[in-house]
Amino acid sequence: MGTIRRATYEEIRSALLAKREIALLDVREEDPHAQAHPLFAANFPLARIETNAYAKLPRRDVAIVTLDDGEGDAERAAQKLIELGYSDVATFAGGVAGWAAADGELFRDVNVPSKAFGELVESIRHTPSFSAEEVQALIDAQADVVIVDARRVDEYRTMSIPTATSVPGAELVLRVPTLAPNPTTQVIVNCAGRTRSIIGTQSLINAGLPNPVAALRNGTIGWTLAGQALEQGQNRLFPAADAETRQKSAAAARAVADRAGVKQTTLGALAEWRRQTGRTTYFFDVRTPEEYTAGHLPGFRSVPGGQLVQETEMVAPVRGARLVLADSDGVRANMSASWLAQMGWEVLVVDGLVPADLSESGAWQAPLPPTPAVDFISPAELAKALDAGHTAALDLTLHANYVRGHLPGAWFVQRSRLAEALGNIPPAERYVLTCATSQLAVFAAAELASLVDAPVQVLEGGTQAWQKAGLPLESGPTRLASTPTDRYRRPYEGTDNPRDAMQGYLDWEFGLVEQLGRDGTHGFFVI
């Protein structure tokens, strides 16, 4: 491994303040990342660099700095990125501790830029809100009130406020006029905590919805802390919007985008930007996944607008890049763009699209490096080998996927800790790697082969192919060769979170505006 340049705190801070493109990548797993990281450090785990890099870092000469907490992962990640063709790669000297030692502000949790921005919006705009007790009283009184849940549909189905309808954030301005056609109807927007309800409420206010609008203060966390019951498994989904509503909503959304400085572009300009050197451009379709699958612009990735605003760094880790958004009606792209512009991004909306332009269908496919040559084994052959013994199956999937279902006897292994994991696995005469589809496994095969004195194979089609072949799965954390750190358990997920964790999360959110001030690199503004 050659010498990799070390980037300094002053160099990174200067790039952020000047809005020069930089990808500050925290290459640890999600849980350690969530414990402490710089504001704009995007979580970019070492274990999945090959499957993430080309989609999330489309320009091979973009400035990249990798970060860890002294484990050596930053150097390993930098070397992998260089092998993938990236030419301007450095590591951050001193890791997370070095950032703090340079008086850099450290943040905890995930999606911090978006959450901090939401708190800034509320502090400046004084976004109206109701307490959980006040909302419960309105429901009990059968008042004229419509509650809309701005989270993803799957989150809504896990737990929701009684009577609430699922309207993911980018859909609010388009869908709420149909849900609440009477301008005197009280509209209440909720999420799990605070951010998406603040942004959702302020979206409706900014767009000029005539109804009174308020956020549910502290979301489902606040609801639970108030001792009130949540519903599970609900399926009240947003209604279709008629042509008149679409037209009015589009005009309102464009006016908001104009106030935020969002630029417009045309289909003809896209090809030029794809060829442009020295500038990173991301192309996102912000409609629902179902609409995207039915038809979308070639080369655009499906990222529903509410989640794009909430989790920007997960799909666009190059701070200072350009974002281009598209939809089919001008509502969702312009509303999403209005928030992204306020968060310091250069963002444009593709105007003038007609149905014929949405000529590509199906799911988005991430660009990947060339597949290494590996020795595949079919599910049927592996089943026989496992029955005969002396074969070890190693599953590189996320821990949550492993717990839901894995090959009988398979070991859970975090790829970034492969060498350590082998110390917990009895020696075998053959090793077989798998993950959901074996997309990641093929990139880990050579690494495993360098660590063992036995043949290494990859399960063809991964665990999904095993299941399609009618072969059995087992569930639960049965064989953990690695400590699961790939997922940070959010205090607002699920229905069994400790009350002190939920309250602690709210207290943390309340302190984010002060942290933004101490950090000083955010570049946010609020219209």
pLDDT at 235: 95
Instruction: Report pTM.
Output: 0.94
pLDDT value at 201 more than 90: yes
Map tokens 């014929």 to a residue.
356
Which contacts (CB < 8 Å, 24+ apart) does range 386-391 have? 390/428, 390/429, 390/430, 391/428, 391/429, 391/430, 391/431, 391/432
Strand, coil or helix: 349: strand
What is the radius of gyration, based on Cα positions, of the chain? 24
Positions of CATH 3.40.250.10 in the chain: 5-107, 117-236, 260-357, 376-468
Distance CA(334)–CA(258), nearest Å, equals 9
CATH no. for 5-107: 3.40.250.10
Nearest-5° Cα angle at 309, 508 to 167: 100
pLDDT at 394: 98
Q: Distances in Å between the alpha carbon of 226 and those of 189, 270, 291?
A: 17, 50, 38
CATH no. for 376-468: 3.40.250.10
CATH no. for 260-357: 3.40.250.10
Distance CA(129)–CA(119), nearest Å, equals 13
Contact between residue 375 and residue 455 where contact means Cβ atoms under 8 Å apart: yes
Distance CA(527)–CA(494), nearest Å, equals 34
SS (H, E, C) 179-223: HCCCCCCEEEEECCCCHHHHHHHHHHHHCCCCCCEEEECCHHHHH
**C-alpha count within 13 angstroms, C-beta hemisphere, residue 486:** 22
Q: Name the band, by pLDDT with cuts 50, 70 and 90, for residue 272.
A: confident
Map tokens 């942004």 to a residue.
199
pLDDT value at 125 more than 70: yes
Q: Which residues, 6 or more positions from 37, have their beta carbon under 8 angstroms from its beta carbon?
A: 26, 43, 67, 96, 106, 107, 108, 112
Percentage of the chain lying above the pLDDT 70 cut: 97
Sheet holding 64-67, edge to edge: 5-7, 89-92, 64-67, 23-26, 42-43
pLDDT value at 504 more than 90: no
Distance CA(299)–CA(217), nearest Å, equals 39
pLDDT at 265: 93
Distance CA(288)–CA(241), nearest Å, equals 14
pLDDT digits 0-9 by tens, 298-320: 999 999 999 999 999 999 999 99
DSSP secondary structure letter of residue 141: T
* Residues forming a β-bridge with 160: 231
Sheet holding 186-190, edge to edge: 129-130, 213-216, 186-190, 145-149, 165-166
Closest CA to 169 of 74, 305, 66, 46: 305
* Residues forming a β-bridge with 187: 146, 213
pLDDT at 491: 65
pLDDT digits 0-9 by tens, 421-469: 999 999 999 999 999 999 999 999 999 999 999 999 999 999 999 999 9
Tokens of 465: 């192919």
Distance CA(204)–CA(202), nearest Å, equals 5
Average pLDDT over residues 156-171: 96
Q: Is 67 left (phi over 0), alpha (psi -120 to 50) or beta?
A: beta
Query: Hey, what CATH class is 117-236 in?
Result: alpha beta
Nearest-5° Cα angle at 485, 481 to 490: 140
Average pLDDT over residues 113-125: 95
Average pLDDT over residues 346-364: 94
